[in-house]
Each structure stands twice: as structure tokens, then as C-alpha cells.
Structure 1
Amino acid sequence: MSATLGVSVFLTTVEDDLAGGVNIVGDIYPAGATGAGRRNILIPCGISVTPERYQVPAGRYVVSATLPSGAVLTEDVEARKGEETLVSLDASDSPYETHSWQYLMGNIEPRRVYHDPSTVPVPRSLGSRSMGAAARAAGVNDHGGAEEPPPIWPGKATWIGNSTTSSWSFESMIGLAALPPATPIADVIADSPPQVVAAPDATDGTSHLFRFGADGPLGAPSESYGNRQFLAVEIADAAHLVTLPAPWSSAQIEVLVNTRQSPTGSAIAVTVRDPAVGAGLAYMARGALGTAARLFTDVDSMLYSKNQNPLSAAAGAYVLVGTDLTDEPRHWDPWLEHLRDWFGWMSDGSVLCATRRLRQASTEADLRRARDGLIEAYSRGVPFYTLGLSWLIDGLSEFPDDPECASRLRQARLLSWRVDMREPFVIVNLRGRPR
């Protein structure tokens, strides 16, 4: 008779949109001479989720969960014959409950580190987080509630709901970095009046959390928004242009602006509060495409429903193309073509098609088609995903003797030096030295 392990991860997701929890990926390893492991299992994660039950031979096991942050939670348990053993791993170490999603994604330190001033090092590299750290103010408590005095938001965040098509180009984004510091970034790229976000949705004066829906900041929606939305973030002498992956069906977009000086992460992080694939996007950004594929449990469906959410479909396509390294035809190849043909405002579709063509090329004509696809992708503007920017650079690098490819490669590289490639979506550092 077998035993049962009921596995879950506790996370204080107090907001209604994540009430049902999310899935993350883990493993069950036999700890003794007997037993059989289970690899890449799905584990529900949330405040009151139902454990996922796995049948195993009786014996001792190590149950582990790999968070999107890269942290690994483990517990040693004994599975008794004919019984169910519950295993609840703890991921509730966020500095604030309001920031629990960001903690799960790896964008903010654990509570014990965050609240201990002696653990905050001075950054020693350009890749370290630094936004001109503001003085720490009293703010949200451990339960996410407000304290006195009210926290301070020391910067300016401007939502650009409707940007000009020309502003998506590589040349335009590189040019923004050359603007005089006093130039309002939002006014330069907006096609309709931009909207200043008065205050973060949660802040302690140091870590500032903004949330957006399909039509702009939560609580202050707008009817004026287009295919590509941005957030311009300016604090002291730092300025960033943040790609917002909106609209993303009904899921909220969360932006963390962190002015702490710490080498553990990015100055600005963008996540999608999507219970189905939000964690998968974080795995994808860290290069764990195989792990992301476990969470994108129905990638075919994501691509097939591209009209409802083309950005989600593109994420699924990156996982498909990134994990299938053969040159054999796949049933989803035509769907990549549709993603490119139907959504010209999203260059990711062209990047995906060109990458796939380059991998399958067997003749000079095939190579020419791939090359033309890369040129098309560049002409459509900077991709939404940093993975798309990376693949575009890799593809253009395959044609070093082609002047058109070489000139575009130079521009793409120039921009990439200002982009935080650790993030899933493109965030451009507009001031200061590039990376």
C-alpha cells in the first residue's frame, strides 16, 4: 500500500486577485534506501490553498519547492503506509504582506534582511540596485497597514497609456537617454496626455509598489490607452522607462520601485499578478524555460487564444521555441506566423518567427527569410520581453557581413546596455552610465 504526501507552500497573498493561490515547481526526493522520487511537481502556493496530493511508496522523503526567486524551501518528512502526511513549506518571509508577490518573485529581500540596517551593503557594481536611496520613513507595518507618519514617495511616476509608434523604435529609446535631465520623458513619447500617479499603492518610503489594470493605474483608470503602455519613473538623478505588459486580460500589473542600496536585485521590477502564469514569467526571465513550461501547462491554449491575450501568447511561444531545439516542423509553427501577422505593434512575434526560421534554415533562401524576419522585428520596435531583445541580438549576430544587420545590431546592443536583462520585461535606464 502506498502513502500520500499533501504538499503546499504558505504565502500571505492577502489581495483578492490571488486568493486562489498560484502554482510553483518542486520535487520529492527519497531520503532513504527505499522510495521513488517525483520531479517537477506542481505545488499550490497561497494563504489557504488545498494541498496537492502525491502517491509515493512509504519511506522518508525530502520535499523541496523552488520559488521563482531561486530560493529553495525543503522539509524532511516520513510518508507512512496508508496515511496522508501534510507538508507545508513556508514562504511568508516577505518584509510586508503587501509585498508578498514581489518577495515570491525574488524582487525584495526577506523580512529579517530588509529590516536589519546592518545587512544593507553599499553596492560595488553598476549591476547593483541603486536609485539614489531616500531616507527611510515609517510606513506599512508587518500586516500591510498604514502607520504614522505617512510614508514618503520621493519621486515622480508618470503613466503613458498611449505612446507614439515612433517612440517604440531603438533609435528613439536610445535618444531618450540623451535628453537634458529636465526634459519630461512622458511628454516626449506620449500620443495623448500622460497621467502622473499621485502616490504608490503601498510604500514605506523606500520600497514603492504601483499597480495597474488594463486601463491604467488602479483607482484612476483612463479611456485613453493604446497598444503600448509605459511608466516613466524619475527619482533624484535616476530615470527609467518601464514597459507595462498591459492589457494582460484581467490580471493586475505590479511595478516595484526599490531605492534600497542592495546587490540582490533590480532597481525596478515588473510582474504580472496572473495566478496561472505569473510565476512562470519569473522562471522564464531567469532562463529556466523548462520550469516555466511546467507552469504554462497548456501552452498550446495560450497560443490558440492569442486574440484574447497576445502578450501571454508570446510568453508561451518563447517557452515553446526556447525548449524545442530541433528543426522538426511543429503544429504550432503556423501560430507563430499568426502572432507576427496579427499584432504588428508587438515585435516579439517577428522575433519568434525569425528565430524559428533561423533554427530550421537549410538553404540560402531559408536564411534570407530568417534575416528578413529579423529586419522586420527591428523595424517594429523594441520587444516587450527582454528575452526577445536577447534573441534579436543573437539573430542579427548571425549575419556579420550584412550591412543592414550589422547597423541594427549596433543599435540593439547599445540599447541592451541600458536594459536590465534580469527582468522579464524591458526596462530602460535613461540616465547615468549604461551597464
Structure 2
Amino acid sequence: MSTTALAVRLFLSSAGESNDAVIVGDIHSADLGGDTLRGILIPCGTAPQPASYPVAPGRYVVSATLPSGMVLTEDAVAEAGRETAVDFVMTDSPYESHSWQYLMGNIEPESVYRSSATIPLAESVSSRSMVAPAAGPDGALPETPFADPSPHATWIGDAPPESWSFASMLALDQDDGALERFVAEGRPLTLTGPDVAGGLVTPLYRFGPGGPVGTPGSPSGRRQFLVVEAAGAVRLVTLPLPWGPHEVEVLVNLRQSPTGSAVAVTVRDPVRGAGLAYMAQGALDTAARLFTDVEAMLFSKSANPLAAAAGAYVLIGTDHSATETYWDPWLDRLATEFPWLADGAILRSVRLLRRVAAAGRPGAGTPVFDRDLAREQARAGLIEAVDRGIPYYMLGLAWLVEGLSAFPDDPVCALRLDQVRRLSWLADMREPFLILDLRQRST
């Protein structure tokens, strides 16, 4: 007997590339006796194979939650013994090369870029634009944007460890010459020509495991950064490389509008790419559906500690128990075996502090571990995390503030907390990876 099912998928613009991804959605019954399925996985791409979900015959509302927070819905009638197609369509990306960016919510629909009559201009420097104009002395904003906002991007493929420190990063914002010295130490490479898609308004820079796509033999070290400059604004972008075999994209959005991102970093990981965007939006429960195998990311032959760290952020953010879990030893491995990864030390320390807090709540019972020892281990881990340098993830910076704040009378923690807080004022809180706004000047 044939199964009654809904076959769900989402179409993206064709760009000569796969654009494969997975996002999360729900199936809700519009009848009293139907089925409701939450947290379904929806394949996305230029020609995605649908995911089939058995349901009882009846009327349904199928929703797809985009990483931007937008929710798409489609009505469907499931007929007995048949598989009913439910197709979402997102083919109005402004450029075919930016279909992935459009799905992730980093860029507006085609109409915003193709029709000047529909372009919503930004009204403050806090809007998501790389070149939002600065207010004048009287507080008024200029009526026209910058005449020539052409971006200048410099890849730093082998930044030395001392340049990752909080002190060095804070100096970049305070000393005009510090950025040039930082770049000079990292063997800079200016990115132009075929490596850039999308023109001058929305240039898109692509990076593979060995550096910029199309630039073979580029020297790459443990940490890589991208410096983006346009109309006096400067962003220092953390590149999450290498991320296994997958490419990383950096979108620079020079269109002044209240949506989209000024600079956005995405990983073209078809399984976990959208999960990173959900994580940045604070939707950790949704992200958890896409980070289901942290152990494989950490313990497989081709270990990916950056992906494992993302999964660990999701696990800790959605589990508030005091008891040890099966994945707690994974945090120990992240913290000890990857000394260049500040996020590993952050994750283990915050987990310890949260276990201590959970064990101290009324009704928690007798603690099954030494809470004083756990606090001391967390303190040492937080200090080590700061000393390792800036984290890859924006959530790591926020959790450093949270963790160090638990030791207000400790002068060693207080000193580091001051550095972390000052750096957080420069960070874009809306992005999964750490992006610093070093300075923004009126021209």
C-alpha cells in the first residue's frame, strides 16, 4: 500500500553550482485529526531531492524557517496513498552567484538592487551597511551616500599568534598605523578580479582550505583574516578556515538598507551552514537539528575542530543540567588538543560554571562533583582562553564576558574582562564569526 506523505524542498536560483543546503521547518495539521511534525529538515538547492514525511490524509500548513528569521509557508493537501509535493521557491536573488547568501538572509531580494525606486536607504550608522554615512556636527545625516564606496579587501593568510591577542586587536582600533603593521606581518594579498563576484555593490570573496579561490600557492597559517575597507570604514573579518573541504564566503554589502549584512561570513557546508546562521540569531534549538554529530566532527580522521566548537556551543546552550553528559569529555578534548582555539577553553569553562550554577539551585540535590574545584578549573580556563587570543565565534566573546563576570573580585579576571568588554563594543553581534568594526569615518 502506498504511503501518504508530503515531499518538501526549497528551490534556489541556478548559478552553475550546487548551492545545496538544509534548513529547518514544521508541518502543522489544519485539521483536528492530522499529524504535526516539528523540526523537519528541508533540502535546498537548484534541483534538490525532496525529503518525504509520512502524514495522515488531510490539510496541512508547511513552514520553512530561514536563517534570517523569516518564515515561509505553503498550504498542502495530503491525499491518501500519494506523495504530495510541497515546493518553496526563493529564486529572486539579486545575483545567481549570491543564492546561498540570499538563503542565509545576508542580502535583499532582486527588486532592492535592480530598482532604484524601491531601495530603502539607511537612516543611521547602525544599519547593516558597510558605508552608512556618519552624522555631521549637527547630528544630521547626509542626503546622499558616498560617491565611490568601492571596497578594498586584503587577505592575511598567516597572521602570527601575537596578532590574535586582545591587546593587539584593541590597538588596531586605537592606532591608525597598527592595522598596516598587522597586515604587513601577515603577508597581505589584495583580492581583485576573478576572485570577486557580484560587482562593486555586493562583492563576494571566496576562500578554500588553502586560501582565496583562484589563487593557488597562497601561504596560509593557523589563522586567516580579511581586512575590508570602503569609504573610510574598516572591518577585520575572522575566516573560519579550514572548514574541511568546504569553501567560506565573505559578502560585503555596500547597499545602504536596513536589512542584509554589512559584512557576512558563511560556510558552504550543506549540512551545517544554515546551523551557523541559526546559532548567530540565538535560535540554538533550531541549530541543534543540524549539529547532531559533534563526536564525528571532533573524532573522525578528518577532524574539524571549528565545526565541533559550533556544535558544542549549541549543546551547551540547550542543555542546562548539572550532571555530566556523554559529550562533556569532548569539551575536554577541544580545550586541550587544540591550544590555538580559544573557543575550546571558553566552552569547557562556561560548561563548568553552568553545571555549578545548576547544582546550586533549590531541589537540585547533592552535587555529584566538587563545585569549588569546578569553579577554580573554570577560572583557569577562562584566563587561558583570553591569553590564547580572540575566539573565532561571536558567541565565544559573549560567553567570555559571562564567564569572567562570575569572578568580580578577582583582579586577574577583572583585567581580562575589561579587554574582552572593550573588544565586544567593536564586534558585530549579528554574525556567527567575529567581525570587528575598527573605525568608521566621514569622507
Q: TM-score, normalised by structure 1?
A: 0.90
Q: CA deviation at 1:266?
A: 2.4
Equivalent position of 2:152 in the other structure: 156
Equivalent position of 2:192 in the other structure: 198
Q: CA RMSD in A?
A: 2.0
Q: How does 1:227-376 map to 2 (within 5 A)?
A: 227-305=222-300, 308-361=303-356, 363-376=371-384
Q: CA deviation at 1:33?
A: 2.5
Write the distance in 1 (CA, Å) between the matches of 2:352 and 2:14: 42
Equivalent position of 2:179 in the other structure: 185
Is the contact between residue 343 and residue 396 of structure 2 (CA under 8 Å) also seen in structure 1? yes
Equivalent position of 1:55 in the other structure: 54
Q: Which moved more, 1:221-230 or 1:234-243?
A: 221-230
Q: Secondary structure at the match of 1:250?
A: coil
Q: CA deviation at 1:127?
A: 2.3
C-alpha offsets along residues 332-353 of structure 1, whole Å, 9 cap, x if unaligned? Answer: 2111111111111110000001
* 1:411 counterpart = 2:419: yes
Is the contact between residue 160 and residue 186 of structure 1 (CA under 8 Å) also seen in structure 2? no
Q: CA deviation at 1:265?
A: 3.2
Is the contact between residue 24 and residue 64 of structure 2 (CA under 8 Å) also seen in structure 1? yes
Write the distance in 2 (CA, Å) between the matches of 1:184 and 1:381: 17
Q: Which moved more, 1:221-230 or 1:60-69?
A: 221-230
Is the contact between residue 185 and residue 232 of structure 1 (CA under 8 Å) also seen in structure 2? no
TM-aligned CA distance change 1:425 to 1:306, over 3 Å: farther
Equivalent position of 1:172 in the other structure: 168
TM-aligned CA distance change 1:172 to 1:306, over 3 Å: farther
Is the contact between residue 132 and residue 236 of structure 1 (CA under 8 Å) also seen in structure 2? yes
- Structure 1, unaligned runs of 5 or more: 135-151
Q: Which moved more, 1:357-366 or 1:309-318?
A: 357-366
Q: CA deviation at 1:360?
A: 2.1
Is the contact between residue 11 and residue 89 of structure 2 (CA under 8 Å) also seen in structure 1? yes
Is the contact between residue 133 and residue 206 of structure 1 (CA under 8 Å) also seen in structure 2? no
Q: CA deviation at 1:323?
A: 1.2
Q: How does 1:37-56 map to 2 (within 5 A)?
A: 37-56=36-55
Q: Secondary structure at the match of 1:295?
A: coil
Equivalent position of 1:208 in the other structure: 203
Equivalent position of 2:95 in the other structure: 96
C-alpha offsets along residues 219-256 of structure 1, whole Å, 9 cap, x if unaligned? Answer: 11334211100001111211111100011111111000
Q: CA deviation at 1:330?
A: 1.2
Q: CA deviation at 1:424?
A: 0.5
TM-aligned CA distance change 1:264 to 1:330, over 3 Å: same
Equivalent position of 2:137 in the other structure: none
Q: CA deviation at 1:189?
A: 4.5
* 1:30 counterpart = 2:29: yes
Equivalent position of 1:120 in the other structure: 119
Is the contact between residue 167 and residue 189 of structure 1 (CA under 8 Å) also seen in structure 2? no
Write the distance in 2 (CA, Å) between the matches of 1:82 and 1:203: 46
Q: CA deviation at 1:131?
A: 2.4
Is the contact between residue 164 and residue 189 of structure 1 (CA under 8 Å) also seen in structure 2? no
Identity of aligned pairs, percent?
55
Is the contact between residue 345 and residue 381 of structure 2 (CA under 8 Å) also seen in structure 1? yes
Q: CA deviation at 1:369?
A: 1.2
Q: What code does the residue aligned with 2:99 have?
A: S
Is the contact between residue 393 and residue 413 of structure 1 (CA under 8 Å) also seen in structure 2? yes
TM-aligned CA distance change 1:190 to 1:306, over 3 Å: farther
TM-aligned CA distance change 1:158 to 1:189, over 3 Å: closer
TM-aligned CA distance change 1:71 to 1:253, over 3 Å: same
Q: CA deviation at 1:374?
A: 0.7
Write the distance in 2 (CA, Å) between the matches of 1:341 and 1:189: 29
Q: What code does the residue aligned with 2:153 have?
A: A
